Structure 1
């Protein structure tokens, strides 16, 4: 009887683990620019991607539904011809703020190097050792990047294993002729994102993610002033990164995600010394100078 019960417990545990997903992603495929929006393949692609991302087990974590990472993927198909797609992909993710009902944006990136082939009802499967398609590799790359950045906000450099998994995808995808996977593909490529995340030159960037979110936002509910001070500290850390690697894709993505949030944080509540913060923000992200001008000090 004891062996039987142990067997049942083991079986239930395995089933629970196998059914545990980590991602809650809203995926949209738009095809207006193709002039062929009536084709069913675009809806089929959207459904297939939704199932691929949300029903796959990307990690060994056993998460409850409310713990799943919220993200969105918007694919804009600009050209379509005989199962060949030319598109852009916009990827966004967020994480909850402790003691709050709101979430904080983590990642916001638009990838313009996204061409792929897809046959209607084609099965989408991820294998870290095999390149099956640019569609699977690109989506999988962004899922592991999202997982890595999310983990980085909860513990210092906590997303290392996910960024390393993304690197495996980069290395495997380089056997294809698709853009975005090589150093020669520019400073906004998937290669560059991953290379920077795993570079010692950007370790302080990832540490700043932890300081900003875990030591900053997550303590707002108990000590707003201390939380704001930690966010000031994190912005100084980012300035140090920018001094060494100005206008990096990671910093651009950070401020694309965070500009409204940062403006809101410093526009009310307990006052902290922010003159230097505004100077740092204008230096790192002049594109958002209008937002920074609304921060008063």
Structure 2
């Protein structure tokens, strides 16, 4: 009996929980003209294993709770062990009561250079700089975790954002772009600085209200859900008044613009004239999508 209990505990531990991410990593080296080099295939294999098997949090995730994401590394140049690239990170989460998944994060980080030797060990240390490759991946994964958590509970992403900030701080010791104040208004430094700033607290309110009070009740009461989404997006008005054309607003609408277009392009109809005016003011780069909305 004792051995049976031990075996049951083992299987519950081994198979009852999963890693945090269900992530597909692609290394695209077409722009180098040498996309068939074995090193790119090796890197892709290693990164898939690294991202999906590293324990990123202290939480135990059930298999159905694993966060779906995609990471595409577009390599533009290679010289020895030095890689020039950009990295696109996307994530989504399920919507309650449906098979639909809603996009959460869609970030194109162009300041990405790193060193890599084929078959080198890829190891993450949450408190210590290892390499720019590890730091950039860990930063964006913590952003994925943080935004996902914020969409389920109010300010639920704090622990992940603070880890992203810690990664930013210890990565500044090297001369890689994206980690410092002087690297511009759309850098990794700016992203985590903004999301933790009281000036942009409304952004996190939008993340929670849009998803929990809007998307997650869509299957139960579509009209109420759409009104809740309108109400959530209205929080951008005050944020835009304080900081026009903010990076966080761009990050949000890069992920959500197509979804917002689809939500309000079909019935039941709700009052959105003021919302359309606001969207054109705070997210003008998506004006073509806002024009497609009929109300």
Shift of 1:64: 2.9
Q: Retained in 2: the 8 A contact 1:27–1:73? A: yes
Give 2:82's aligned residue. 84
Mapped partners of 1:35, 1:222: distance in 2: 51
Indicate the SS of the match to 1:156.
Answer: coil
Question: Shift of the alpha carbon at 1:57?
Answer: 1.2
Deviation for aligned residue 1:63: 2.2
Q: CA deviation at 1:207?
A: 1.0
Which of 214, 217, 225 aligns to 2:215? It is 217
Instruction: State the match for 2:120 in structure 1.
Output: 122
Q: What is the match of residue 132 of structure 1?
A: 130
Instruction: Determine helix, strand or coil for the equivalent of 1:74.
Output: strand
Partner of residue 45, structure 2: 47
Look up the SS of the partner of 2:117 in the other structure: coil
- Are the aligned partners of 1:20 and 1:57 in contact in 2 as well (CA < 8 Å)? no
Per-residue deviation, 1:249: 1.5
2:286 maps to 1:288: yes
| CA deviation map 1:178-201 (0-9, x unaligned) | 110011101111111111111111
TM score, norm. by length of structure 2 = 0.95
Residues 246-267 of structure 1 deviation map (CA, whole Å, 9 limit, x = unaligned): 2122110111111111011111
Deviation per residue, 1:182-233 (Å, 9 max, x gap): 1110111111111111111111101111100110010011111111111001
Decide which of 251, 257, 264 is 1:253's aligned counterpart.
251
Size of the aligned set, in residue pairs, is 295
- Other structure's SS at 2:125 match: coil
Deviations 1:88-122 (A, max 9, x none): 11111111111111111111111110000000001
Task: Compute the TM-score of the two structures, normalised by the length of structure 1.
Answer: 0.95
Superposed CA RMSD: 1.6
Deviation per residue, 1:248-292 (Å, 9 max, x gap) = 221101111111110111111222110000001000111111110
TM-superposed CA distance for 1:243, in Å, is 1.5
1:66 equivalent in structure 2:
64
**Cα offset, 1:65, TM superposition:** 2.6
SS where residue 167 of structure 2 aligns? helix
1:157 touches 1:203 (CA, 8 Å); kept in 2? Answer: no
Q: Determine the structure 1 residue equivalent to 2:102.
A: 104
Cα distance, 1:11–1:66 mapped onto 2, change above 3 Å: closer
Q: 1:185 aligns with which of 169, 183, 186?
A: 183
The structural deviation recorded for 1:14 is 5.2
Deviation at 1:239, TM superposition (A): 2.0
Cα distance in 1, alignment partners of residues 31 and 11 from structure 2: 48
What does the per-residue CA deviation read over 1:136-174, in whole Å, with 9 as the maximum and x for residues that have no partner? 000011001100000000011110001011111111101
| Structure 1: stretches of 5+ with no match in the other structure | none
Alignment match, 1:237: 235
How far apart are the structure 1 equivalents of 2:124 and 2:12? 24
What is the Cα deviation at residue 60 of structure 1?
2.2
Give the distance between the partners of 1:156 and 1:92, measured in 2 at CA: 22
3-state SS, counterpart of residue 186 of structure 2: coil
Between the aligned partners of 2:245 and 2:28, the Cα distance in structure 1 is: 30
**Can you give the 5+ residue segments of structure 2 that lack an aligned partner in the other structure?**
none
Q: Decide whether the 8 Å contact of 2:87 with 2:110 is kept in 1.
A: yes
The alignment partner of 1:281 has SS state of helix
